Amino acid sequence: MASQIMESITMDGRKIILDCDPGHDDAIAILMTLASPEELDLLGLTCVGGNVSLDMTSRNALKVCELAGFTNIAVYSGCERPMVRQLSTAENVHGKSGLDLPGGTVLPEPTMSLRSQHAVDFIIDTLMSESTGTITLCPTGPLTNIAVAMIREPEIIPRIQEIVFMGGSAINPGNTTPAAEFNIYVDPHAAHVVLSSGVKLVMMGLDVTHQVQVTPSRLQTIKTLGRRVSQTVADLITFYGSFDLEQWGMEGAALHDPCVIAYLLDKDIFTLKHVNVEVETNDGLALGETVADWKFVTDRPLNCHVAYQADADRFFELLNDRLLNLP
């Protein structure tokens, strides 16, 4: 099945670069992308230090591609630490490998190799070589790679079609500190660069990602899909969801990063509001907070389309449909 999908990839789909820090939910976002070749033309996977160290996130991206049988995907390693601060990771959520499975097992080591080019250079070169306004950037981790690319080559900024990113929170509290969501907290200075860039932005933050929880019945449905990859996804969710159950009292794992890909595949799953979003970069209790002018009480420019409502049933119908495309 995977080989058939790879052969069917055309240039008709929306061109994207998926910038990630796998991570269980990143892994599912990658799989959704690989399973959607008619809609999404994946130009490359770029990795950043985030959920775990850069060497682990890069290796995990390779593992996920091999899991699905997509050994021809170009994977690039990028920035190992944030622009200003030291790297904060989330092994308490994702395990030491970043993709731990129940019972202490992990995915097999990859046979694929990383491309030699740095992820930031790949992002710059690709945006400069492709037609203006044809590439969407899809960051699901800290925004370091994207911000560094913008700083290194500002000419890429008007060439970006859109940035759809997972991070932040407009209405609800944070999940790393009382104020901040993990991806933005890890590199708030990078988030500031991106939010100030003038590029069309779509933010998939905690307001909406916490609405797509893998309840026991939804997990059971994934288990019964009968695919090798879907069973591994169920195992990933089982490990990953234990944190949300214990820490937040949720019904199951919140699938944060797949919301980015779901939005590209079916925008009607989500309801968005166009507001101003700024990020706190000063040290203190609010470091990394995304401050959204939800009630339009300032005259700051509207710079971000923020998702705040999701049709969870429709989201999981889409996820299950895509998992059936994989082996």
Which residues are designated catalytic? Answer: 256
Q: Which residues of 121-140 are buried (b: 16+ CB within 10 A; e: fewer)?
A: ebbbebbeeeeeeebbbbbb
Amino acid letter for position 126: T
Q: How many Cα atoms sit within 13 Å of 71 on the Cβ side? A: 7
Give Cα separations from 225 to 99, 115, 125, 320, 325 (angstroms): 21, 33, 40, 8, 11
Q: Which residues contact 121 (CB under 8 A, 6 or more apart)?
A: none
Give Cα separations from 136 to 12, 16, 239 (angstroms): 14, 5, 31
Task: Give yes or no for a contact between 136 and 264, defined as CB atoms under 8 angstroms apart.
Answer: yes
